Amino acid sequence: MKSLIRYSPLLLLALAWEAASRLELVSSLALPPLTSVLAAWFDLLINGELVSNGWASLYRGGTGLLLSVIVGSTLGIFMAWWRPVNALVGPLVELFYPMPKSALIPVTVIWLGFGDGSKILLIFLGCMLPVTIGAFNGARSSDRTLVWSARSMGASRMRMLWDVVVPSALPELLSGVRTALALTFILLVSSELIVARQGLGYLIGYLGADGAYEAMFAVVLTVAFLGFAADRAYQLLMNRMLQWRE
Amino acid sequence: MSDSAQIVIDRVSHLYRPPRGREVLALEDVSLRVTSREFVALLGPSGCGKSTLLYLIGGFFPTEIGSILIDGQPVGGPGPDRGIVFQHFALFPWKTVRGNILYGLERQGMERGEREKRVQDFIELVGLAGFEDSYPSQLSGGMKQRTAIARTLAIDPKILLMDEPFGALDAQTRHLMQSELLSIWQRTPKTVIFVTHDVQEAVYLADRVAVMSARPGRIKTIVDTKFDKNDPNIFKAKAFVDKVDEIWNLVRVEAIKAQETRPS
């Protein structure tokens, strides 16, 4: 009930959309009625295009994000803990962090072609730095008395890194991952729009070029919903992992 | 005393190098011998290097000038023979009370059944039964420090290093914790090095009080402070009050000096 009230503006927006289109306040080409969009969505679901392209996108996004989390968090924690690593990698991270990652789309295509590989590489490269920086800042802020406590209770250096530095880094690391999650959707859809033969982004571009605007809007809405759901699910996971905080 | 000394600190100096700015001589020519099961307080104004000395004994900083021997062996890195309790508890916030106390026992490779039993014993020793599954963020300051003390005592260190352990607690809790520490210490005697800037606390708890001077930290005098700790009226006893006064006068001079030489 509470969430019903919370998301009621969404309902108003849907009604306004339907009305604007039905009353011809805007061209139904530019904004097809929501009900037609929903009908097109069911068609896409039944003929399997939504599912097959959705899986392709999910696979690319999931793999790229997973790789970026593994490599990024490891890199960030080692940067915080070993000066030489920081000296070597730190300037590179600073240099590449503000770069618009979509500029890498043609580069990754030249390297790995039109298929999954180029998308995964792009997402990996684009998402790694926010994770790295989160892990780095989190690990660097770990309390030295916690480190000392673990060492004086008999933890080896590596053990202490895993038992103290990693959990200390977790809050900032996890919010870096949240940024990466949002970036995944951006990079995924934009790279599929530009060069791909599969995926939700490709489907949007293909349907748009074909003039199937109802269907195109249906896919756009699907992507928006997936992004929202992923972020929500991630927040739940994050709260669970950080439940020890007050 | 010379032969039975467990901790021998011999002409130790320590240079503190801040990431930015000039290096500071934190300790200068400090020598101290502590016998096994003795309770020694390091007392001095803030910035006198008393915590630094504790960290050197703990092996958290390397001893570069002079030497520190424990049972005849030079101090290397940190180890479970020297347990430490910090002012701000240093509990792992992501672990429960039980998890915090278990941690050291796991690192010692103690077998599961044995360590579960030991954890329960120490939870009861410090009066935390019923709070085993609470996270530190759910505990009061006094309960956090009890957990930290239990965690350190559970691994049975020979030497207990305490860095202003009651400094962050309110007056009543501090008082309670002092007498609890004494009663625990009387039951399981250990060598204790106790850093504080509270004169009464030092005189009450310690067998000897090493009064430190400010910047660079030196040991100015060592005062015997053996009293009958079980006397409930000890705080009113004349000998006790006089001793506190005597040491307070020594510290006051240093505290004033510390104010004047504090770098701006």
B224 touches B195 (CB < 8 A): no
Beta bridge partners of residue B10, listed in sequence order = B67
* Residue A190, in any domain of the structure: yes
**Which carries the bigger pLDDT value, residue B260 or residue B248?**
B248
pLDDT of the residue at B175: 87
Residue B212's pLDDT band, with cuts at 50, 70 and 90, is very high
pLDDT of the residue at B264: 46
Distance CA A113, CA A93 (A): 26
Beta strands across the sheet bearing B191-196? B82-85, B159-163, B191-196, B39-43, B208-213, B218-224
Q: To which H or E segment does residue A225 belong?
A: helix A213-241
pLDDT of the residue at B260: 72
* Facing A152 at nearest CB: one of B58, B136, B137: B58
Domain boundaries, chain B: 5-81+159-261, 90-156
Distance CA B195, CA B162 (A): 6
* Residue-level length of chain A: 246
Distance between first and last Cα of chain A? 27
Mutant choice from A148, A153, A161, A172 vs B, greatest count of B C-beta within 10 A? A153
CB pair distance less than 8 Å for A150 and B103? yes
CA A81 to chain centre: 27
Distance between first and last Cα of chain B? 42
Q: What is the ipTM of this complex?
A: 0.90
pLDDT of the residue at A28: 79
* Residue A47, in any domain of the structure: no
Using a CB–CB cutoff of 8 Å, tell me whether B19 touches chain A: no
B251 touches B44 (CB < 8 A): yes
Question: Is residue B262 scored above 70 in pLDDT?
Answer: no
Residue B137's pLDDT band, with cuts at 50, 70 and 90, is very high
Considering chain B, what is the average pLDDT of its residues?
Answer: 89
CA-to-CA separations, A40 to A46, A49, A51, A57, in angstroms, rounded: 10, 11, 14, 20
The Cα of A241 is separated from the nearest Cα of chain B by a number of Å equal to 9
Distance CA B158, CA B6 (A): 10
Residue B261's pLDDT band, with cuts at 50, 70 and 90, is low
Q: Which among A223, A228, A216 has a CA at the least distance from the CA of A36? A: A216
Report percent pLDDT > 90 for chain B. 57
* Residue A145, in any domain of the structure: yes
Q: What is the 3-state secondary structure (H, E, C) of chain B?
A: CCCCEEEEEEEEEEEECCCCCCCEEEEEEEEEEEECCCEEEEECCCCCCHHHHHHHHHCCCCCCEEEEEECCEECCCCCCCEEEECCCCCCCCCCCHHHHHHHHHHHCCCCHHHHHHHHHHHHHHCCCCCCCCCCHHHCCHHHHHHHHHHHHHHCCCCEEEEECCCCCCCHHHHHHHHHHHHHHHHHCCCEEEEEECCHHHHHHHCCEEEEEECCCEEEEEEEECCCCCCCCCHHHCHHHHHHHHHHHHHHHHHHHHHHHHCCC
* Mean predicted confidence (pLDDT) in B50-69: 93
| Tens-place pLDDT, residues B2-51 | 457 899 999 999 998 887 888 888 899 999 999 999 999 999 887 788 99
* Residue A17, in any domain of the structure: no
Q: Which among B99, B124, B69 has a CA at the least distance from the CA of A153? A: B99
Which residues of chain B are within 8 Å of residue A155 when distances are taken between CB atoms?
A: 107
* Residue A16, in any domain of the structure: no
| DSSP output for A99-159 | S-GGGGHHHHHHHH-SSHHHHHHHHHHHHHHHHHHHHHHHHHT--HHHHHHHHHTT--HHH
* Residue A57, in any domain of the structure: yes
Question: Is residue B213 scored above 80 in pLDDT?
Answer: yes
Residue B263's pLDDT band, with cuts at 50, 70 and 90, is low
* Residue A9, in any domain of the structure: no
* Residue A154, in any domain of the structure: yes
pLDDT of the residue at A183: 95
- Contacts of A28 by beta carbon, 8 Å cutoff, 6+ apart: A21
pLDDT of the residue at B1: 43
DSSP β-ladder status, B73-74 and B65-70: antiparallel
Distance CA B50, CA B26 (A): 9
Query: Which fold would CATH assign to domain B5-81+159-261?
Result: Rossmann fold (3.40.50)
φ, ψ (nearest 5 deg) of residue B41: -100, 140
* Residue-level length of chain B: 264
Q: What is the DSSP letter of A30?
A: T
Residue pLDDT tens, chain A, 246 long: 788 888 888 899 999 999 998 888 888 788 899 999 999 999 999 999 999 999 999 999 999 999 999 999 999 999 999 889 999 999 999 898 888 888 999 999 999 988 899 999 999 999 999 999 999 999 999 999 999 999 999 999 999 999 999 999 999 999 999 999 999 999 999 999 998 889 999 999 999 999 899 999 999 999 999 999 999 999 999 999 998 886
CA B239 to chain centre: 25
| Tens-place pLDDT, residues B112-124 | 999 999 999 999 8
Mutant choice from B52, B107, B119, B152 vs A, greatest count of A C-beta within 10 A? B107
Residues 99-118 of chain B with CB under 8 A from chain A are 103-104, 107-108
**Where in the sequence is the domain holding A122, given as residue range(s)?**
53-241
Among chain B residues, the shortest Cα distance to A171 is held by B94
CB pair distance less than 8 Å for B86 and A149? yes
Domain count, chain A: 1
Distance CA A153, CA B107 (A): 7
List the CATH number of the domain containing A102: 1.10.3720.10
| Tens-place pLDDT, residues A11-37 | 999 999 999 988 888 887 888 999 999
